[in-house]
Amino acid sequence: MKVSFSDLREQHDGVFRENCPTRTVLDHVMSKWGVLVLFALTDGTIRWGDLRRRIDGISEKMLSSTLRTLEADGLVSRRSYPEVPPRVEYALTDLGGELMEKLGPLMEWVAAHADDIAAAPDARRAESRVGREADQTT
């Protein structure tokens, strides 16, 4: 299935333009922490502490903020149990699950190609340096 930017704009008037809700959704879903939280929740219902341990490097503040945003967007559900100590669990909603069906292949692609892509700038710099040195000797 091939989808182009132009095709989407023709099908949905004003989509992805300035002040369009699509930009807000993209910001929430495709942010570094948003996509990692959503992806971690594909494993099923998770308690807050377990979620934080799964997502290396996320601060408590950022996890809480990201979860609140994704919950407000209807992508994540929060369930609080009246226990001591309090227990809170998070899960994908049906809408969040549908989103992750689409994002899952992207995450697989990123996992498969991240090392090569991250190494590419170093390789280009090395090639550029060699090319400049060759130009200086001729």
Q: What percent of the chain has pLDDT over 70?
A: 88
Quick one: pLDDT at residue 79? 96
- Strands 46-47, 87-92: pairing is antiparallel
Residue 11: the pLDDT is 87
Residue 128 predicted with pLDDT over 70? no
Task: Specify whether the CB–CB gap between 7 and 25 falls below 8 A.
Answer: no
Q: What is the pLDDT of residues 111-120, one digit of tens each?
A: 999 998 888 8
- Who wins on pLDDT, 131 or 25? 25
Query: What pLDDT, on the 0 to 100 scale, is given for residue 48?
Result: 92
Determine the pLDDT at residue 130: 63
Identify whether the C-beta of residue 44 lies closer than 8 Å to the C-beta of residue 51: no
Q: How far lies 62's CA from each of 69, 105, 121, in Å? A: 10, 25, 29
Residue 98, pLDDT > 90, answer yes
